[in-house]
Amino acid sequence: MRTGARIASAAALWVGSFAGLRLSALAPEDCPDSSRAELRAAAGAAGAWIERSQGADGRYVYEYDRDADRVAPGYNIVRHAGVTMSLYQLARAGHPEIVETADAALAVMLDNLAPAGAGAAFVENDTSARLGASALMAAALAQRRDATGDDRYDDELRALGRFLVGQITTGGQMLNVYDLQGEAPIPDQTSRYSTGEAAWAMAQLHNLFPDEGWDVHARRVLDYLATARDEVEGLDLPPWADQWAAYTLAEVSAWGLDEHHVRYARSLAERFGLLVRAESQKDGWPLPFIDTRARGAGLGVWVEGLGALAAAADSDDRLADLRTPLDARVKCGAALLAERQPDRRQAESWNAPSLVEGAWFRYDVTRMDDQQHALSGLLVAAGELGPVGS
């Protein structure tokens, strides 16, 4: 890009950012009220959508356009694992009936578990394995074990953990792809999502099996997330709004956070808090011709992150001053989620009410991770989730 074009592009970015800040500063904040019972009901409705969307093969509807009444083709195994994990979270929160649905999806993952490194990975082909799919499968199994007390998949859970450990490089960075044919991680390929997912999975492994040394690996990756990841991987506007890192902080807080973890938790709280505050103001923005609101997945992620940080603050007195503001932001974001979720009456005006009720839409499109993250955020906000084993 020529110098003049770069300057023009930068100027446009600054003008747009300034305009957005002006709109956000001038618009009133609007946080609806929702009781814990209402948040739990909204989470249950999201779980029911996932259950209704599941096919006979154990997979879910990936994406649905309610205006066109069309289910989009394609699939994503990382999101499959994530959605299944959220169903086991729902089971932990007092819905044991959802385990059957989650187990049908788990069967898909177990059927596609392949040897990789020193353990096993959830794969979609015979050439490579992605870190995030295995990390979220491990998280799903950890949540399932905590929800049911059933230890039948402990060997698979540990094998997934060994695969995750094998993806850690010098300094705690994690590689995103494993070459199944070359039998080695592929160098220099990372993901802004999967490192936090893997750290959280390993932290849960330690809380379930505290005598096996998983804490060493979880801390090593958390140290990288807290001190180096954003700079090393070139992520703009640090800290990256990583709810998986926040979940990890909550799990690790039971063993004791280091000072750099506490600083990281504070920076994440500021980022997530700002995002929810801005979201709560958007109905007052003078832009009626576009939908500026976040997707259900986006808002759900922010609520998940804030809720996990609230759990860490409850465990660590160095974060005690954040307890009240975190609680306020969690309640605000969760109430916005509950308010934006179509109920049965609203769904009846569409061609496929069963794929509308309980979902979150933006421009008339929902994707299965909209329900995943919103469901998890609502459960956290309702006080139904904490570290496994707690």
Cβ pair 156, 120 in contact under 8 A: yes
Which stretches of the chain drop beneath a pLDDT of 70? 1-28, 283-291, 390
The one-character DSSP state at 261 is H
- Cα-atom radius of gyration of the chain, to the nearest Å? 21
Between CA 196 and CA 204, with CA 202 as vertex, the angle to 5 degrees is 105
257 vs 316: CA distance, rounded Å: 8
Residues 221 and 172: beta-carbon distance below 8 Å: yes
CB atoms within 10 A of CB 11: 10
Give the N- to C-terminal CA distance of the chain in Å, as an integer.
53
Nearest to 172 by CA among 128, 232, 213: 232
Q: How far apart are CA 109 and CA 350, in angstroms?
A: 33
- Residue 287: the pLDDT is 53
pLDDT at 13: 42
Q: What is the pLDDT of residue 284?
A: 58
pLDDT of residue 243: 97
Query: Quick one: pLDDT at residue 27?
Result: 60
Q: What is the pLDDT of residue 15?
A: 44
Predicted local distance difference test score (pLDDT) of residue 291: 63
d(C-alpha 308, C-alpha 294), whole Å: 20
Whether this model's pTM surpasses 0.85: yes
How far is 160 from 139, CA to CA, in rounded Å? 10
- Alpha helices (runs of H) in 255-347, residue ranges in sequence order: 259-281, 296-315, 323-340, 344-347
Domain edges within the chain: 43-381
User: What pLDDT is stored for residue 387 in this prediction?
Assistant: 84
Assigned CATH class of 43-381: mainly alpha
What distance in Å separates the CA atoms of residue 382 and residue 342, rounded to the nearest whole number?
19
